[in-house]
Amino acid sequence: MMRLALPKGRNLPTTLEALRAAGLGLDGFGTNGRKLWSTVVEDDLEVLLLKDWDVPLYVEYGVADFGVVGSDVLDEMDGDLLVPARLREGGCRLSLIGPEGSLPAAGAQIRLASKYPNLARQLVASRPWSAEIVRLSGSVELGPLLSLTEVALDIVQTGATLRENGLVELEVVAEVQPCLVFNRASYQRHRERLNELVRNLEEKGQVI
């Protein structure tokens, strides 16, 4: 029986929709419920509900055979995973945010808040300004809002939180999509079944 790791955050509903369209029943999984580990006999699967940041680890270490996780988390963690497809729905943007007009000028030295220190470092390395990276674990918008930092690098979905707090999206750094990920060894052992899943997702228009 294979084991699937699903993200229990904002990507869960769209992920379930895509996987169900591809033929998995995943009965009993919804946005509510607190069960973290269940067996879905009809799908011959065990399903784990994990925090986004934990999905790549569980899959890379082979505790789960495959999973779904945002490309933002994948890029930040840089693990050894197979990434055969990106899901069509559930996308958002990784953006530089701050007060209107706060995009750093060339030569500026600023502070930048982010949950993504590695991606933030890569971004700064490609810019004509420099920044001290301040790692925050939540409510990153508060960094520029309370002048802890000048700007922040964070996920923007609709932009509503930014607008409510008087911040703007200064620059889109990357498009973010939920990604289907496979453990390398699991792929070799369950190649036919995992390829069939990707084929079904493609045929049902669930991937980009």
Judged by the rule CB under 8 A, the positions of this chain that interact with other proteins are 57, 60-63, 79, 81-86, 182-189, 191, 195, 198, 202, 207-208
Taking the complex as a whole, how short is the minimal distance between the CB of residue 96 and other proteins, in angstroms? 25
Amino acid, single-letter form, for residue 131: A
For other proteins, give the closer residue by CB, 65 or 141: 65
Taking the complex as a whole, how short is the minimal distance between the CB of residue 194 and other proteins, in angstroms? 9
For other proteins, give the closer residue by CB, 41 or 185: 185
How far is Cα 23 from Cα 88, in angstroms, rounded to an integer?
Answer: 16
Could you give the 3-state DSSP secondary structure of residue 65?
coil
For other proteins, give the closer residue by CB, 63 or 103: 63
Phi-psi region of 189 (alpha: psi -120 to 50; beta: other; left: phi over 0): alpha
Residue located via tokens 């607190």: 34
For other proteins, give the closer residue by CB, 108 or 208: 208
Taking the complex as a whole, how short is the minimal distance between the CB of residue 172 and other proteins, in angstroms? 20
Beta strands 168-176 and 2-7: pairing type? Answer: unpaired
Which one-letter DSSP state was computed for residue 182? E
Taking the complex as a whole, how short is the minimal distance between the CB of residue 14 and other proteins, in angstroms? 18
Contact 92, 156 (CB under 8 A): yes
